[in-house]
């Protein structure tokens, strides 16, 4: 049962840099189901239902991840870059290349010639400069401010070439682009008309344009006849509705009211497999974790953090949260990653946990804390309370916060313990972003020189062996310092009917729009 104040919200998403083309299931209990075979069929209007309706259509405000508006952004604005499905590296799309010759101090972005926005104005180097410089402005409040502020300056060399100088060496800055709204650019002419005018006629260079938007209802997109990558898009249009409940979204697919959705719950993903729907999951390391606030009591005390960590049985936790279908986050990187190491992030030891709880009580500070969760993640709070209830000298209350409050809660460290995520295939940029002491997104408030050195060394190293060694040190420090309890890999899941072809994701579960098609 919940105790304490209650509001509304959704859990925060993490980040990764991998693309998965639709090529099979995820190894769940139910067998995989594929989509239609053969060449894409032209025409039709696909019905998508997403978790979160955008506040507006400004590409700088849209969030590029599976829990938010990635499909909207990819549909309206296209993509400068995407990830390669075989290597996990960044490859070109509207950009022909994005390269560095000085180990990540600067990059050269080269665009395809002749690109145009839907309003007929050119998508050239000057347009990218306008968009990226704009995203660096703190007053805008963009969703990818931290990524944008890695850029120190931009310089137009010619119509298709932009030089991008960075504030610090970031050899894999292309991944920052694919994980963020930097991947989307809009017409400077349209943006200068103001928010209201832009929302009525957003001018991107993506495969679709806005047909209509009934707020609280349907956002309707129609085929962009001037899209650069012909013969795409395959669809005549996409109708997008919104629901914060993953089970309701799945029910809509099963009832024939939708064709595709994104799912952020392993248990619901398994229900989709059992229902013989397509389920495509993006491989990911790191994961979701119960984050401790090291900047204030009680979790500024390492003993309190260790006590809670040892008290949690992750197998029982997964059974309660995901009916046993979640993917555990035992190590920082999956075995498929070249950065994989065997450092275990968590150890369940109920006897040790009780000893530590008793030690805190004997010191006059029995552990009592509030766990802040978010809408759609109440099961995690319930599971945590259930796990801790048999122990003496520990009390946990629960607060459910609103989705709009996630940035404030994490950014201002307004919590004792909460939900956070550091999801990754490669380590950059997610791992330093989450745990580097100087990172604005270091929500746990960890400050450790050895961890900083490992993260910085891994981020700037250019050879795999050096990176692997440094990130193994980082994993060891995270296991020792316990800034949180990694309880599962991030579920970045696309679910679709068997009539949908061309399912492909990149970045943080960002669903591409131009490859989608419907079998008739």
Q: Where are the domains of the chain?
A: 20-281+492-518, 285-488
Give the start-end residues of each E strand in 43-160. 45-50, 81-83, 90-92, 95-99, 106-111, 151-158
CATH, range 285-488: 3.10.105.10
Which parts of 288-429 fold into alpha helices (H)? 302-311, 314-322, 350-362, 378-388, 406-411
Using an 8 Å Cβ cutoff, are 273 and 253 in contact? no
Residues sharing a CB contact under 8 Å with residue 159, sequence separation 6 or more, in sequence order: 113, 122, 124, 125, 126
pLDDT at 88 over 80: no
- Chain centroid to CA 30: 26
Point out the least confidently predicted range of 117-121, 151-155, 168-172, 247-251: 168-172
- As beta bridge partners, residue 495 has 261, 279
Q: Taking a C-beta distance cutoff of 8 angstroms, is the pair 183, 506 a contact?
A: no
Give the distance, in angstroms, between the CA of residue 5 and the centroid of all CA atoms in the same chain: 28
pLDDT at 16 over 50: no
Mean pLDDT within 337-359: 97
Range of lowest pLDDT (157-166, 205-214, 216-225, 369-378): 369-378
pLDDT, tens digit, 9 for 90 and up, residues 204-220: 999 999 999 999 999 99
Domain 20-281+492-518: homologous superfamily in CATH: Periplasmic binding protein-like II (3.40.190.10)
User: Tokens in use for 76?
Assistant: 């309206």
Average model confidence (pLDDT) across the chain: 91
SS3 (DSSP) at 437: coil
**Are 474 and 332 spatial neighbours (Cβ–Cβ below 8 Å)?**
yes
> What's the confidence (pLDDT) of residue 404?
58
Say if CB 485 and CB 280 are below 8 A apart: no
| pLDDT at residue 146, as a whole number | 86
Q: What confidence score (pLDDT) does residue 382 get?
A: 96
């Amino acid at each position: 049962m919940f105790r304490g104040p209650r509001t509304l919200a959704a859990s925060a998403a993490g980040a990764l840099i991998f693309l998965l083309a639709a090529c099979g299931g995820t190894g769940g209990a139910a067998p995989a189901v594929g989509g239609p075979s053969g060449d894409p069929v032209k025409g039709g209007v696909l019905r998508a239902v997403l978790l979160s309706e955008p506040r507006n259509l400004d590409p700088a405000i849209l969030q590029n991840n599976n829990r938010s508006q990635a499909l909207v952004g990819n549909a309206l604005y296209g993509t400068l870059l995407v990830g390669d499905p075989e290597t996990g590296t960044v490859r070109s799309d509207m950009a022909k290349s994005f390269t560095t010759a000085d180990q990540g101090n600067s990059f050269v972005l080269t665009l395809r010639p002749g690109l145009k926005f839907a309003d007929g104005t050119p998508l050239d180097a000057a347009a990218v400069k306008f968009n990226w410089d704009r995203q660096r402005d703190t007053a805008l409040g963009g969703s990818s401010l931290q990524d944008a502020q890695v850029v120190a300056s931009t310089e137009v060399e010619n119509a298709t070439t932009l030089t991008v100088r960075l504030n610090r060496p970031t050899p894999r800055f292309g991944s920052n682009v694919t994980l963020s709204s930097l991947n989307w650019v809009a017409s400077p002419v349209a943006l200068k008309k103001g928010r209201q005018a832009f929302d009525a006629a957003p001018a991107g260079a993506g495969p679709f344009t806005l047909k209509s938007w009934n707020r609280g209802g349907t956002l309707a997109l129609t085929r962009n006849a001037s899209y650069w990558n012909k013969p795409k898009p395959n669809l005549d249009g996409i109708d997008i509705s919104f629901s914060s409940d993953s089970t309701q979204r799945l029910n809509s697919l099963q009832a024939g009211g939708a064709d595709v959705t994104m799912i952020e719950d392993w248990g619901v993903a398994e229900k989709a497999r059992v229902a013989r729907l397509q389920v495509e999951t993006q491989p990911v390391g790191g994961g979701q974790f119960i984050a401790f606030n090291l900047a204030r009591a009680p979790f500024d005390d390492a003993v309190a953090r260790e006590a809670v960590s040892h008290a949690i049985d992750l197998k029982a936790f997964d059974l309660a949260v995901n009916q046993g279908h979640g993917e555990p986050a035992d190590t920082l990187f999956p075995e498929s990653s070249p950065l994989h190491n065997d450092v275990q992030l968590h150890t369940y030891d109920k006897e040790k946990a009780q000893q530590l709880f008793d030690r805190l009580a004997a010191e006059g500070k029995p552990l009592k804390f509030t766990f802040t969760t978010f809408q759609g993640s109440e099961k995690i709070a319930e599971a945590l309370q259930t796990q801790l209830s048999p122990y003496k000298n520990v009390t946990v209350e629960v607060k459910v916060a609103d989705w709009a409050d996630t940035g404030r809660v994490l950014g201002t460290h307004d919590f004792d313990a909460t939900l956070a995520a550091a999801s990754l295939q490669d380590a950059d940029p997610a791992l330093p972003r989450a745990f580097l002491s100087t990172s604005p997104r270091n929500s746990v408030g960890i400050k450790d020189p050895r961890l900083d050195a490992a993260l910085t060394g891994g981020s700037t190293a250019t050879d795999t062996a050096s990176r692997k060694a440094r990130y193994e040190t980082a994993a060891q420090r995270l296991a020792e310092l316990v800034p949180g309890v990694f309880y599962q890999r991030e579920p970045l899941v696309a679910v679709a009917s068997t009539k949908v072809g061309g399912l492909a994701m990149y970045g943080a579960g960002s669903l591409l729009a131009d490859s989608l098609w419907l079998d008739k």
